[in-house]
Structures are given as C-alpha cells and as structure tokens.
Structure 1
C-alpha cells in the first residue's frame, strides 16, 4: 500500500474482508467436477453415489497403525461383490465422498501390513472434544470468499481438482518428504514423472528440474543459479514483472535492473538493449503472463539479444506457463506460437501448477535446460542420502523438506488431465474463450470500457464516468468493487489494479487529473466462466450505471 493507505502503482487489491452471501433462491451448479446445490444460506455437496458412512473407524485404524479391526466399517465398494451384477458405469462427476473414504481405507489396509501397535495415550482426543473444535474450525472457514464459484471473478483463485484433493489426502496420511528418496520413495518417483511431463510441455529435451513450494521459491532458485553463473552482474526484469524478482535480488545480494514496458505492459526490448550495452547485466527475466494484466513478453525476440550480449534468459511462466498448450490451437482460444516455442530455448523456466494446473497451494516447479547447473546445489547430508545411489531431489533443490503429497496430487491429476492440448489444454481454452467473449461484450457496452484486449485470461476494464477523468474512474472502480461484493442478493467479487497515468495513453479521451487510477480486473481461470460471462457482464453494467 502507498502512503496513507492508498494502493501503489501496479498493486492488485481486493476488499479487506469477505462478506457472507446468503442467496435468496436455490442455484444449481457443476463446479470442479462436482455437482453442487446452493440453497438459501447453506452449501452442500450432492454426489452421484454416496460413500458408505461412517468412516470414523477407518480414520482411527489408519492413524493408529492398524491396531483395531474395522468393526463394521467397510471400504467403499469399488468393484461389485462376488455374485453381484456390476452396476452400469455412467460418465459423470467424481464422487468425492467415495474417493476420500477410499483414500482413508487404502491407507488403513497398507498400515495393517506392518503389524499392530498401541498408539500413545498422549495422542488420544475424545470425539466430543474434537467435534467442538471442528465446529469452531468450520465456522471460521466461512470467513472466505467463494473462490470456487464463477461469481468470484477477482484474483487467481480456483479450487483444486477433486483428483488433486484425493491424491493429496491419500499421500498426506503417509506424510512422505520428497527431500530424499528414503523420505518418500513413491512420491519422489511421482515427482520425477510429473516434472518430465512439464519439461515435455515446454519442449525441453535434457533438463534438470523439480517441484517447489511456490513460484517465488522456483524463481529464487533460477536467480540463484543466474548469480552463480554471472557473479557481480545484475538481473534485468520488466517493471510489470512479479515483485518477487526485485525482492529475491535483494535476498541474493544482486542488483536488480527494472526495464520499462510498452503500451501493452510487456518489456520494452529497445530499453533492455540499451541497458545490455554496458555489459553489467548477466540475466534477463521475461514474463510469460504478467500477474497484473496477463501480458506475454516477447521471449522469441529476446533470444537474439542473448546471442549478441551473452546473457541468460529466464522465463517466469508461473501464471501463464500452461497457456503454451494453446499456442497454435484451432479456434478463438489460439495463441501466437512464437513466444511459447521460444521457451524451449530459454535457459530456465518456472511454472505454478497451483495456478492453472488445478493443484492446491503450494505447488511450483523450476526447470533448467542445462543439467550441469546442478553443481551449484552440491552439499552433503550424512544422515539423509543413504538408501539409494540415485540423485536425491534434495540434492538439486534449495529447499529441504517438501511435502510428497504435492507431487502425488499433481501426478494423479495428470493421469486424468495431462498437460497436453487435449487434456488440461481444454480447461485453459474455456477460460481463454470466456475472456475473449467478455472483452467483446465490454467493447459494445455503454457503461464499461475495455482497458486492453486480454492476452490470456485476464480481463481489464473500467466504468464509463461522466467526467471521464482518472479520479472519477478510480472512485467508480472502487465503488463497484465494494458494492458488488456486499450485495446480499446477487454478489460479484472482483479485484482492482492501479495504473499510472502514462498507462492510459491508449485512452486519450481520459483526462489525466491524477497520478493514476484503479481499474477493474478479473481473472477468468475457472472453465465455468464460459457459461457465466453474460451474467457477470450484466451485473457489471448494473453496478456501473448505478
């Protein structure tokens, strides 16, 4: 925040606290592969086939090492029992209840193979005590925005896919640590397999890579390697790049070199080249999908500068990376191929599966095109790396402990929705089409004006005001943000981004009576937006003209 609590340039905001939404009528939805019904103040999940309750006994057996038998609690039937006729298999949403129960039961059966033991009484929690704590816990969780719902069109938020939820919980009951093979042999193998899939998606042949807990840590590792390869040299990134690059330059003791952007929010390569002529820049960060406006910087054009000036090229594709699946696609969702094909020639790339990869937080990944950079990670841990002569993931990572459940969740998701155009690409295509559809509606609106055409799935726009000045646009955008999210009957959740006055050069009719203004911003990450855009647009027009 800027001085006096006002947002600074480029800062994305959402209102301070969520508002409880109590709809006045029943609404049927299909979200994240589940069937839901929201009924007058109460939300519940209705699935095709209910799990066999209760599962408390299964939970106790799983967590106590199999000390007690099931005593009437059965594993959900995944196949018909002997003598039964198999039920017809219809295609439909995953039954999350069934598979969560199956996850607990699977862990219990595996645990029993190691023999019984008595859990320590210090761990015992009376069920009634837990019930009271759980009630308080779930009540407090209601203080959240409806990230799962297409009414939420603000920040980069979406629910994890049910397959990721089941995969994470199943592995979490074992609690593997992917730092070393002896900490999680199964999930470490899964991590290698999903990283291979990510490398293939970006066109990397040979590579070194691993998952991280976030895009921030993934970028830190890329900049760490950059520093080791070009000591005493600075790292260049655009003024629209994620703030993590400037922050991590400070952490690494490296000088950061912010480069101005063009009218679309992409790095100005002429300004970059001017900075490169001095020979003090060692690495250039190109962003494939800025988190503010979704701008894709010209990676393909920057490669020529690498050859001329001997710099490294790192691509921060934390937000936009999976959009490479739409490069050259048929249909309105098609993206230009040049910048995405060029990523294969970049020295390193970062992507966040916890954004468009349908994963829970936190799941990032970093890939290096040259595996020999692994030498910068070399260290020894005499009590850790002893069960295998193979390279342990902790030997090629700055992080130590990492949840194996993260790799498990991504692996299971990729088995069903692989990072291909026909798999996960269809999810991104829906959001991309929704963004283009909404942009068309805004361009034909009397009450809203499109700031710029969406390059990926972020739509930026502002209300048409009487004065058509920055101060009026700022005030109206802020009013719409808060009125939309506090409407008890038909709420809509948006975000804003503050832009400097010079960024409105493409809108010469706007009077620059202030240093900048907040405009509205919507990230259409959820595929359900494709059938919800018209309602979003209608609500925005209602709010704008009020």
Structure 2
C-alpha cells in the first residue's frame, strides 16, 4: 500500500476478511454500548427505575426475554446465508468491506436514534450533518464555506433533490416571463428568459417594479401546470412544450424516474449520445442545446456522470462545463449543470493532499471541474465504504440549494437557521449515515493519505487483475477504457461472432452464479445508445456484428485486500482456472 500515515496502516481501518481485528474492535463496540448504558443512567438522576430486580425475575418477564433471544438466534442463523460482501471474493456490485469508523459511527449514532428532520429531535446529528457536508464539499472542489446540502437515502433521492431545485429556479424565471407578457405587455425571448440567471431576474423585477409574491399566480408549479402551458402558448404565440432534461445515455435509471415523478413526461427526457468510449459526446450535447434553443424548450438541467453504473467511466465534466460557460458568456444563458457522481465522487479524494498519479489526465480534469457545477450527487455507501443507505446532495451555494418550502405546524417555530425538513424530499432522515461518513472523514480523511489512497490501490488492483487474466487467457476481452476499479469483459475467440460471444459469456456468468467461490455481476450494453461502444469492442477480436447487444461480466474491485499480493495471486489463479474450465466456445456457437 501507499506509504503514508493512513494508507500504510490501512488494515486498521477494516475488520478484515477473517475478523483479524476482532479483539480491539469487540472492545470498542463494547465501549460504545457501555457509554450508551451509562448515558441513560447518568441523565435525570432523580427519576425512578421502571422495573425492579424482582419484576425482572417473574415468569412473564423471563419468557419475554427468552423470546427475544430465540428470535435473535433465528435472525443470526438466517444471516449465515447472506451474501458475504466483506470478502475479496465478492467483486459483484458497488459494495464491499465497510470501514470500521463508518461501522462504529453508524452504530453509535443509531443507538440514539436521532431524526435529522429537525434539531428538536437531532441536536448532535444535525450538527454532524452540516460538518460532513462541508467535508464532502471540500473533497469535491466546492468552497466548504459556501456549499450546502444534506444526507439522503441514496443517489436516486439525491438526483431527485437536484431536479427539484433546478425546477424551482427555472420556474421563477418562467413565472416572471409570463407575468411581464400578461400584465405589462412585455414579451421577452422565451429561451433566453428561461435561463436568465438570478442577476438578470433581479434587474427585471426592479426595472418593472414587480413584487416577488405577485409571481405565484404565474408559476407553472404553484398553479395548474396545464393552464400554465396554455397561457405560455398564448403569451408567446407558439406552442409551449415545457422544459427538457439533457442526460447522457450512460445514465442511471433514476433520471427516467425523475421525468415521470416531476411531471415532465418522457418526451422531456433528451438523451445525449455516447462516443465510442461510452462517455457523453460533447458535440452531440452542443447540438441538443441548439435544438432546444430553436424549439424554445427550456433546459431544466444538463447532467454529467462521474462513474457510470455499468463500467465506472467518467464523462468529460470539464468539457461539459466549458460548453455551458461558453453559452453563458455568449448569450447570457445560465443552464443548470448537475454531476451524478454517486459512484465516482469519492475519486475526487485522489486530487486532495499529495495528488495521485493513478488517474488519467482526462479523468483528473473531469473530476477537477465538479466544483464548478450547480449540484452534485454522491453516495458514501459506495466508494465511501459506509453502511446503506447513505447518499448526499450538495450544491455550490445556498442560492442553488433554494427550493419550495412547506409548512408543518407541529414542527414550526422560529429558528435562527431553518431546519431541513421543509426543504428535503424525505421527511424523516436518520443521522446514522451522516455519523458514519463524518467519522470516516475525521479518522481516515478524504485525501490521498487516507481514503483516497485506499481507493487508488483498488484501481491498481483492478489493473493488475486485468493484466494477468489477459496475459493468461487470450479469450478474455476486456472492455476499454477501464480507468477506475471496475472491469468489464466478454469471452470470445478470435473471429467469433458477437452472438456466439454473448452466449459464451452468459454461460460462464451462470457458472459464477452457481459457484459459491466468487460473486461477480453482469451488465448488458445494447441498442443505439451503445452501438459505437459495441462495434469498437467487437473489432478487438475481429468478430462479426450479428447482435445489437454486448453481454459483459462485471467485476468491481472495491475490496482493498485485492492489493495484498498473496490474496490477489490466490484469487486470480482460482478465477483463471474457473474461466478455463467453463469457457466452451464450440457449445456457444
């Protein structure tokens, strides 16, 4: 491992596949329980106990205790059959061994059961959430003094939070356009007005002496959205078809959900084509922005992906931001840019402290540009190595975080800093995820001397595995590029047809599923979205394009112990033996 204050002793941050740190970890968990017990005993010393020793020895009491013990035994017996995600043998999905700080932070906080919906129910949990958002913001490249956000139930909810905020902002600008057209007879350019920016918005309010509250009756969100569309059509003399979202075709499924849930309609989802590397085609993005301009379709947001679900690749975030910056300079268009970094966000830790050399120049540039975006999704329960479920939405400032608020009389009181409940999609939110991420940041650090160093080693482990299996098994066809710690590969002999290769790969994956030795996953790239990627891949083995899909075995090398030479050698040898035994091209053909 990297010789640094945290990563040279990285094994201290994990329990270990054989519970190697059991002794001191057991002691620390016992300390957490002892503190919890003593906290209860010390508070309110004049309160009387609710049960006495004699009551706790009655048959009914003892019977209840025995039912709990028996039920817990049943549960632990069932958990023997759970997927063992702690072991290096698990390389299936974006989950792995958890860090001990994350486990301990989660456990300690959940015993107190704070609900971050309000500081009335989470005095410490709410404070920790603010601190951890600042940590994550700094890692991502935001100014931690200006950035804000909150912990969510996962990346899907965090993406929804971004849509909500982008819609809130643009709805203000559209409301002003409609108000000026209907009430003042001033018709501005629809597309330019839909992206006017807050500065221009304030100037127009002042120039036309408009009171902000007067815009509510002209809002597509606060009024009837169907009537709003009819009014916009009449006001601007052309059919109003509503906003669009520009999202790359390597998207997470949550984005199509978002267009449905927020009432945009599937027609509003404009997929941005991918290039031959499976990343957003920035030329295609520019063409779609131009199309939206010509069709007067406001752009609710442009989305970049940093760490795709299938392959872990990173879109050229810097180039996307450059396009949007250029549109702002030339036309004054302020277009919301959201980075879905649910998986890849923690790769930014490789840019903090002593910069790591493990990232490519292009990926370093892409990750470095995240701090220029309006909002970011990041999942600590992925590369942050904390327990499920823990995501986060982070915006670059309070203005980008602003959103419609709601009233709940039973929670409402005058607060110097408003509680989060009224501006989060989720009501109740556990503070456990915030505590797990906070303690990870406090102990390991989100830079190359801590968590970033561990992540860098998993990338190197992935590359070492790829190099060896390709050298020993010529029928293994890795998907390129493979720039993070995710490796996807198909199985094909030279000249094999794509359909036969898919069949052979499917058959080997089925053998992995039936075998208890390893856990891998499968992904399928298909259709027009990935046509360039598939064609490029098939050329690597001179295959025949007789299918429109590409079946891949997917291995996610999140477990840091793959960097241990003895572990990697043993497990790689075993996987190679399995692949040799299971690959039967003649049967597939």
Give TM-score scaled by structure 2 length. 0.74
Change (3 A) 1:33 1:271: same
Q: Shift of the alpha carbon at 1:264?
A: 1.3
State the alpha-carbon separation in 1 of the partners of residues 365 and 17 from structure 2.
41
1:125–1:185: structure 2 CA closer, same or farther, 3 Å change rule? farther
**In the aligned structure 2, how far is the partner of 1:124 from the partner of 1:183?**
33
| Residue aligning to 2:203 | none
How many angstroms apart in 1 are the aligned matches of 2:342 and 2:16? Answer: 30
Cα 1:211–1:125 change in 2 (3 A) is farther
* Partner residue, 2:34: 105
How far is 1:459 from its partner?
Answer: 0.5
- Asked if 1:493 corresponds to 2:519, the answer is yes
Q: Distance in 1 between matches of 2:286 and 2:524?
A: 28
Contact preservation (8 Å) 1:33, 1:162: yes
* DSSP 3-state at the match of 2:247: strand
In the alignment, structure 1 residue 382 sits paired with structure 2 residue 382: no
Alignment of 1:109-188 (within 5 A): 109-112=38-41, 113-114=43-44, 115-118=47-50, 126-188=64-126
Q: Distance in 2 between matches of 1:160 and 1:36?
A: 11
In structure 2, the partner of 1:53 is: none
Separation in 2, partners of 1:386, 1:116: 32
Partner residue of 1:264? 277
Structure index of larger Rg: 2
* Aligned partners of 1:439 and 1:454 also within 8 Å: no
Partner of 1:34: 15
The answer for the alignment partner of 2:562 in structure 1 is: 529
The within-5 A match list for 1:223-262 is 223-231=163-171, 232-254=242-264, 255-262=268-275
**Equivalent residues in 2 for 1:312-391, closer than 5 Å:** 312-327=336-351, 329-333=355-359, 336-386=363-413, 388-391=415-418
1:402 to 415, 420, 429: 429
Once residues 104 and 387 of structure 1 are traced to their aligned partners in structure 2, the CA distance between those partners, rounded to angstroms, is 36
Within the alignment, does 1:276 sit opposite 2:289 as a pair? yes
Cα distance in structure 1, aligned partners of 2:497 and 2:245: 37
CA RMSD after TM alignment = 2.4
Does residue 1:471 correspond to 2:403, yes or no? no
User: Is 1:192 aligned with 2:220?
Assistant: no
Note the C-alpha offset of 1:500: 2.6
Deviation at residue 125 of structure 1 after TM alignment: 6.6
The answer (yes or no) to whether the contact 1:477–1:496 under 8 Å persists in 2 is no
2:156 counterpart of 1:216: yes
Q: Is the 8 A contact 2:477 2:489 kept in 1?
A: yes
Residue by residue over 1:248-293, the C-alpha shift from the partner in whole angstroms, topping out at 9 and shown as x without a partner, is 1110112211111111111111111111113222310000111111
Matched residues, number: 463
1:300-315 paired onto structure 2 within 5 Å: 300-309=318-327, 310=333, 311-315=335-339
Structure 1: state its 5+ residue gaps: 1-29, 38-44, 50-94
Q: Is the 8 A contact 2:116 2:429 kept in 1?
A: yes
Instruction: Identify the range of structure 1 (250-259 vs 465-474) with the bigger mean alpha-carbon deviation.
Output: 465-474
TM-fit CA distance, 1:313: 0.8
Structure in which a larger fraction of residues adopt strand: 1
Provide closer, same or farther for how the CA distance between residues 301 and 334 of structure 1 changes in structure 2, counting only shifts above 3 A. closer
Q: What CA distance in whole angstroms lies between the structure 2 residues aligned with 1:352 and 1:479?
A: 33
Q: 1:534 to 1:46 in 2, by over 3 A?
A: closer
Q: Which has the higher helix share?
A: 2
**Would the aligned equivalents of 1:181 and 1:387 in 2 still touch at CA under 8 Å?**
no
1:228 Cα shift?
Answer: 2.0
**1:316 is paired with a residue of what secondary structure?**
strand
Deviation at 1:317? 0.3
> Residues 462 and 536 (structure 1 numbering): CA distance in 2 closer, same or farther, change over 3 Å?
farther
Give the deviation of 1:186 after TM superposition: 0.6
Give the match's secondary structure for 2:369.
helix
CA distance in 2, matches of 1:369, 1:46: 41
Within-5 A mapping of 1:415-430: 415-430=442-457
- Quick one: distance in 1 between partners of 2:356 and 2:139? 18
User: In structure 2, what is the equivalent of residue 292 of structure 1?
Assistant: 310
Residue 413 of structure 1 pairs with residue 440 of structure 2: yes
| Residues 492 and 539, structure 1, Cα contact 8 Å, conserved in 2 | no
Query: Per-residue displacement from partner, 1:215-254 (whole Å, max 9, x unpaired)?
Result: 1111100011112223431111111110101111110112
Distance in 2 (CA, whole Å) between partners of 1:314 and 1:462 is 32
SS at match of 2:376: strand
- Distance (Å, rounded) in 1 between the aligned partners of 2:412 and 2:33: 30
1:70-117 CA distance string (max 9 Å, x none): xxxxxxxxxxxxxxxxxxxxxxxxx22112211111111111122344
Q: Residue deviations 1:485-534, cap 9 Å, x none? A: 4335xx12111111237232223212122222311111111111223444
Question: How far is 1:389 from its partner?
Answer: 2.5
Shift of 1:132: 1.9
Equivalent residue for 1:454? 482
Call closer, same or farther: CA 1:166–1:48 in 2, change over 3 Å.
closer
Alignment partners' CA distance in 1, 2:512 and 2:557? 17
Say whether the 8 Å CA contact 1:218–1:350 is kept in structure 2. yes
- The normalised TM-score by structure 1 is 0.80
Structure 2 vs 1, CA of residues 487 and 367 (structure 1 numbering), >3 Å: closer, same or farther? Answer: closer
- Residue aligned with 2:447, SS: coil
Moved more, 326-335 or 345-354: 326-335
The one-character-per-residue Cα deviations of 1:286-339 (angstroms, maximum 9, x if unpaired) are 001111111100111111221344221100000000101224834445664211
Distance 1:511 1:326 in 2: 40
Shift of 1:418: 1.6
**Contact conserved, 1:326 with 1:429, CA < 8 A, in 2?**
yes
**Distance across 2 between alignment mates of 1:434 and 1:428:** 10
2:375 touches 2:400 (CA, 8 Å); kept in 1?
Answer: no
Corresponding position of 1:71: none
